[in-house]
Amino acid sequence: MTLQKLTILGSTGSIGVSTLDVIRRHPQRYRVIALCAHNQIDRLFDQCLEFQPRFAVVRDAQLAGELQSRLLAVACSTLVESGPEALVRMAELPEVDSVMAAIVGAAGLQSTLAAAIAGKKVLLANKEALVMAGPILMRAVRENGATLLPIDSEHNAIFQSLPNGYSGNLLESGVLSLMLTASGGPFRNRALTDLESVSPEQACAHPNWVMGRKISVDSATMMNKGLEMIEAHWLFNVPAEQIEVVIHPQSVIHSLVQYVDGSVIAELGNPDMRTPIAHALAYPERIAAGVEPLDLCKIAALHFERPDFERFPCLALAYRALREGNSAPAALNAANEVAVQSFLDGKIGFTVIPKIIRAVLDRTLVTPLLTLAEVLAADHAARRIAEQAIGELA
């Protein structure tokens, strides 16, 4: 058994915490080299004490100094660094085999790309990296011998349900389409007229999954599924027309692959992110994740329905962005991040989120994205337009 050495980008978030829980169960298999967080230094302090990484990274020098002092006071030898450049260095460390890319949003793009360029095994939990820079990231994986394994439960389920050695060619593989399942979030059955009064706390109360606030809001608007649809396009080389979203409130079937012979292969399990994390960490082996076995008799029934695009306009906007291509998905992601943060800050209402995104797509000049600099420029321009739209619509 070879010891796998890891950098965890986003260690204090829900994916990072779940990753460390799986690692905790297999100390003979995994060694944490670097833990990277934003500003939750209390949680990061505890993680450093338990896992004793060589490095820790936080947002800025002030937080780094505070954390370093606390670690030195308890004789912990972890070296604390700060800033985006430090995140990139942690992703590139020569001794690191695998990088868990779990920083939410555009902030995780550069370090994720750095891990791919360094030829690492990249455990991708940052869907925005592919949404913003799909062709650039996939090219980096191919050209540098990196391995890209999806952590989102939906993409991990599709990965497991596709033929072994899937080449990216649907026809040659006998695959007809992909089906992404969605819980429908907390407002699946709520009257449309009541959505204007939704509070951030209500939007963050996901019925099945434990997630961060931004991702929880994305689930409530179903933008999360739209971003996953774009991510699936890049991961599996599938056009939008062959990626279907199906609402499945129980979140037991995590996604499905439909074959040309009429077969449908699905991956099932309890809604716990430790399952796809354990799968990717140990791939192609299997390890215990601490997840309760699925009891189908207890569940008794599974339900499915097609999404209502009037209720979930963000999903329709994501399909539009993928069809427009080039810089449109990056603009979509930037607009969504700005709009969701404004909603969480109480500046706009819940139903204004898709209006902001639509305004950005309508006003954005779609251009090719060939370099990281062009991606970041498109992201910046879309954020500026989103802020203008908020001023008009708030």
* Residue closest to 14 by CA, chosen among 33, 34, 40, 32: 40
114: its two tokens: 């750095």
pLDDT at residue 204 tops 80: yes
115: its two tokens: 């891990």
Contact 56, 35 (CB under 8 A): yes
Query: Looking at residue 209, what is its pLDDT?
Result: 61
Q: In what order do the strands lie in the sheet with 264-268?
A: 243-247, 175-182, 253-259, 264-268
- Write down the mean pLDDT value for the chain: 95
Dihedral sign, CA of 144, 147, 152, 156?
A: positive
Distance of CA 284 to the CA centre of its chain: 21
The CATH number of domain 325-394, selected from 1.10.1740.10, 3.30.1780.10, 3.50.50.60, 1.20.120.1200 = 1.10.1740.10
pLDDT at residue 29 tops 70: yes
Tens-place pLDDT, residues 62-94: 999 999 999 999 999 999 999 999 999 999 999
What residues form the annotated binding site for 1-deoxy-D-xylulose 5-phosphate?
A: 127, 153-154, 183, 206, 219, 224-225, 228
Tens-place pLDDT, residues 140-173: 999 999 999 999 999 999 999 999 989 899 989 9
What distance in Å separates the CA atoms of residue 120 and residue 136, rounded to the nearest whole number? 16
Q: Is 257 helix (H, G, I), strand (E, B) or coil?
A: strand
Q: What percent of the chain has pLDDT over 70?
A: 98
| Cis bond upstream, residue 354 (ω within 30) | no
What residues form the annotated binding site for NADPH?
A: 12-15, 126, 128, 212
Alpha helix positions (H), 244-351: 274-282, 296-299, 313-324, 328-344
Type of residue found at 207: P
Q: How confident is the model at residue 2 (pLDDT cuts 50, 70, 90)?
A: confident
Query: Looking at residue 208, what is its pLDDT?
Result: 63
Q: What percent of the chain has pLDDT over 90?
A: 88
Q: How confident is the model at residue 291 (pLDDT cuts 50, 70, 90)?
A: very high
Tens-place pLDDT, residues 9-22: 999 999 999 999 99
Domains of the chain, by residue range, sit at 4-150, 152-272+302-310, 325-394
pLDDT at residue 388 tops 70: yes
Contact 117, 140 (CB under 8 A): yes
* Residue closest to 53 by CA, chosen among 35, 71, 74, 27: 35
When mean pLDDT is compared across 78-92, 103-117, 143-157, 348-362, the lowest value belongs to 103-117
Q: Which fold has domain 4-150?
A: Rossmann fold (3.40.50)
What residues form the annotated binding site?
A: 12-15, 126-128, 152-154, 183, 206, 212, 219, 224-225, 228
Whether this prediction's pTM lies above 0.85 is answered by yes
Type of residue found at 155: H
The angle at the Cα of 319, spanning 318 to 322, to the nearest 5 degrees, equals 85
What distance in Å separates the CA atoms of residue 92 and residue 107, rounded to the nearest whole number? 17
What residues form the annotated binding site for Mn(2+)?
A: 152, 154, 228
Query: How many CB atoms lie under 10 A from the CB of residue 244?
Result: 16
Q: Is 76 helix (H, G, I), strand (E, B) or coil?
A: coil
pLDDT at residue 210 tops 80: no
Cβ contacts of residue 118 below 8 Å, gap of 6+? 91, 92, 144, 146
Tens-place pLDDT, residues 249-280: 999 999 999 999 999 999 999 999 999 999 99
Average pLDDT over residues 171-186: 94
Distances (CA, A) of 314 to 167, 289, 338, 340: 31, 33, 14, 12
Q: At what angle do helices 14-24 and 41-51 cross, to 10 degrees?
A: 20
